[in-house]
Amino acid sequence: MRCLIVDDEESCREFIATLLRSAAECHQASSGAKTLEKYKNALDSNNPYDLIILDIMMPGMMSGHDAIRGIRSIEKRGNLGKKVYIIILSMLNPSCDAQADAYLRKPVSKEALFNVITKMGLLQ
């Protein structure tokens, strides 16, 4: 499984990557704009991500919600057939973006993360 972990805080990205070390090839991005760039590059290289774990509140011009809309727009335009799964992370109360597949509240536990990924069919 290829996973893109997106958070403006490096320690949060590293924590999630450590949780997934045995289950996924993890890449990281620190902003919504970098998320779209890495997502497009993965598609162009014919090595797409299976999962994006995305902090919803990031500073800068592009929020997590904006990044999700951008990803889903690329999927529709490209007629990709297979969409990437997106898990939203937030410290706030659930406000799951309708275009995301799941929501997890920070701090994330390994058990909660693996339960969601297993339900998505990405882990056996």
Instruction: Please state the domain extents for the chain.
Output: 2-119
Span 95-114, mean pLDDT?
87
For the beta carbon of residue 73, count every other beta carbon within 10 angstroms: 12
Q: Cα(17)–Cα(1) distance, rounded to whole angstroms?
A: 13
pLDDT digits 0-9 by tens, 54-101? 998 887 778 888 999 999 999 988 777 779 999 999 887 655 566 899
Give the residue carrying structure tokens 């937030």. 90
Q: What angle do CA 118, 30, 113 make, to 5 degrees?
A: 15
- Would you place residue 11 in the very low, low, confident or very high pLDDT band (cuts 50, 70, 90)? very high
Q: Cα(116)–Cα(101) distance, rounded to whole angstroms?
A: 9
Q: pLDDT value at position 94?
A: 57
Say which amino acid occupies 56: I
Average pLDDT, the chain: 91
Span 41-45, mean pLDDT?
94
Coil, helix or strand at residue 89: strand
Span 13-37, mean pLDDT?
96
Instruction: Find the radius of gyration of the CA atoms of the chain.
Output: 13
Task: Give burial (CB, 10 Å; 0-12/13-18/19+) of 3.
Answer: buried
Architecture of domain 2-119: 3-Layer(aba) Sandwich (3.40)
Q: pLDDT value at position 12?
A: 96
Which pTM value belongs to this model? 0.93
Q: pLDDT value at position 86?
A: 96
Peptide bond between residue 48 and the one before it cis (omega within 30 degrees of 0): no
